[in-house]
Chains A and B, each alone.
Chain A
């Protein structure tokens, strides 16, 4: 799946990879973030 040109819903997790980090990564690959969240289950 090529990220370039895709619209992305980012669902990060506090104990995994957090939303803003995923957003930075997908932007570097040419995708656009539509929604960025970081879940926390504690």
Chain B
């Protein structure tokens, strides 16, 4: 599905936001959507989409959400999820592929 979306609308202005519960799964999403499927079994095997991947609870994303919407949808999970570890892993993989620069231009 993601591959089809990228083929249809291109990568310009396109980002991925995940709600993964832990750092390992967040990193796996990011690796797959940036470098291609690391297990080489899914539809993104060998396909590098280079999409910037963020977590919805990363501070730079969270601060842009309307406070009432945040309270209704995210407040509880914000307590349960260890966002520091997730944010660090995602930041590292974005920096490795220089994806901050691409999206912030």
A4-B64, A25-B69, A25-B73 in contact; A11/B9 too (CB < 8 A)?
no
Select B100's contact among A1, A7, A17, A24, beta carbons within 8 Å. A1
B2 adjacent to chain A (CB < 8 Å): yes
The docked-state distance in angstroms from the alpha carbon of A3 to that of B63 is: 10
User: Do B19 and A22 touch across chains, with their CB atoms under 8 A apart?
Assistant: yes
User: Do A1 and B15 touch across chains, with their CB atoms under 8 A apart?
Assistant: yes
> Helix, strand, loop or mixed for chain A's interface?
mixed
B65 adjacent to chain A (CB < 8 Å): yes
A25-B70, A29-B66 in contact; A11/B17 too (CB < 8 A)?
yes
Residue of B nearest to A25 (CB): B65
User: Do B65 and A29 touch across chains, with their CB atoms under 8 A apart?
Assistant: yes
Select A21's contact among B1, B54, B60, B73, beta carbons within 8 Å. B73
Q: Which of B51, B65, B100 has the most CB of A within 10 A?
A: B65
Cβ–Cβ < 8 Å partners of A13 in chain B = 18-21, 25
Residue of B nearest to A27 (CB): B69
Interface on B for A, CB 8 Å cutoff?
Answer: 1-2, 5, 9, 13-22, 25, 29, 51-52, 54, 56-57, 60-61, 64-66, 69-70, 72-74, 77, 81, 100, 103-104
**What 17 additional pairs, Cβ within 8 angstroms, besides A1-B52, A9-B5, A24-B69?**
A1-B15, A6-B15, A8-B15, A9-B15, A10-B17, A11-B29, A13-B19, A13-B20, A16-B20, A17-B81, A22-B17, A24-B72, A25-B66, A25-B73, A26-B17, A29-B66, A35-B5
